[in-house]
């Protein structure tokens, strides 16, 4: 099973992935759980991540950004994700191809059909069985960012911090377009893309995610019995 997590920065993905990994391991079904992040996960992909997020690279073009994210994904898929799936492991990915559609497509304005073709190549056609999208507004994202980085209130949501990476410096209007992109994906693929209100309590979100995964496991088991 391949499960991906998506959402704006500070939506709570990392926390929920840790909780899900613990829950999946506690079930004792014998399947290992591999958690990976994008961009990253392999030596090559982590090096690409460093380039992508370095705030000194302000001159990076949208197209270069697209290809760098896709290059990191291509390496991760072929080096870790495909082998893990072939060995019967469950794979949980912190961001996957939908991030490219939302960020570089809707956010940066690159043609969606072009991105779809590049995503297909980068992923080798390996698509998530389910995607969890933790939905928060850009304003909420910046509010949480301000609290996390001790920037005071969110009255000036785009206040810069030395800890901001290159993507985080893109501005609140950019993230509004990204969110609309994610919601467009959800409308187009409702069976795969599960929208969860990211402003709920941590436990309420975790319960919804466990329900998604449990339903997916039942569907996979049923499909296996019918083959």
Whole-prediction pTM:
0.91
User: Within 13 Å of residue 215, how many CA atoms lie on the same side as its CB?
Assistant: 11
Q: Check whether 162 has a pLDDT greater than 60.
A: no
Matching residue, tokens 């469950």 = 90
Q: Check whether 205 has a pLDDT greater than 80.
A: yes
Percent over 90 (pLDDT), the chain: 81
Q: β-pairing, 33-37 with 130-135?
A: unpaired
pLDDT in tens, 138-147: 999 999 988 8
Percent over 70 (pLDDT), the chain: 93
Domains of the chain from N-terminus onward: 2-225 (3.40.50.300)
For the chain, count helices (H), then strands (E). Answer: 9, 5
Q: How far apart are CA 94 and CA 188, in angstroms?
A: 21
Q: How far apart are CA 155 and CA 57, in angstroms?
A: 28
Token couple for 222: 């049923």
Q: How far apart are CA 107 and CA 184, in angstroms?
A: 12
For 13-17, 34-38, 162-166, which range has the lowest pLDDT when averaged over its residues? 162-166
E-state strands within 72-146: 90-94, 130-135
Which of 15, 10, 37, 6 lies closest to 205, judged by CA? Answer: 15
Q: How far apart are CA 66 and CA 58, in angstroms?
A: 15
Averaged pLDDT, 162-183 = 86
């Amino acid at each position: 099973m391949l499960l991906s997590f998506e959402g704006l920065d500070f939506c709570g993905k990392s926390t929920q992935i840790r909780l899900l990994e613990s829950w999946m391991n506690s079930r004792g079904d014998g399947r290992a759980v591999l958690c990976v992040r994008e961009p990253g996960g392999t030596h090559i992909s982590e090096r690409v991540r460093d380039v992508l997020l370095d705030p000194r690279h302000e001159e990076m073009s949208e197209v270069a950004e697209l290809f760098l994210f896709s290059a990191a994904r291509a390496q991760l898929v072929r080096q870790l994700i495909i082998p893990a799936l072939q060995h019967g492991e469950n794979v949980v990915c912190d961001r996957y191809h939908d991030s490219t559609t939302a960020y570089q497509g809707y956010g940066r304005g690159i043609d969606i059909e072009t991105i779809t073709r590049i995503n297909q190549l980068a992923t080798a056609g390996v698509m998530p069985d389910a995607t969890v999208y933790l939905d928060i507004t850009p304003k909420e994202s910046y509010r949480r960012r301000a609290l996390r980085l001790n920037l005071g209130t969110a009255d000036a949501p785009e206040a810069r911090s030395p800890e901001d990476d290159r993507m985080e410096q893109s501005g609140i209007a950019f993230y509004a377009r990204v969110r609309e992109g994610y919601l467009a994906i959800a409308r187009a693929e409702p069976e795969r893309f599960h929208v969860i209100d990211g402003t709920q309590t941590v436990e309420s979100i975790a319960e919804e995610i466990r329900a998604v995964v449990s339903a997916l496991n039942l569907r996979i088991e049923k499909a296996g019995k019918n083959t």
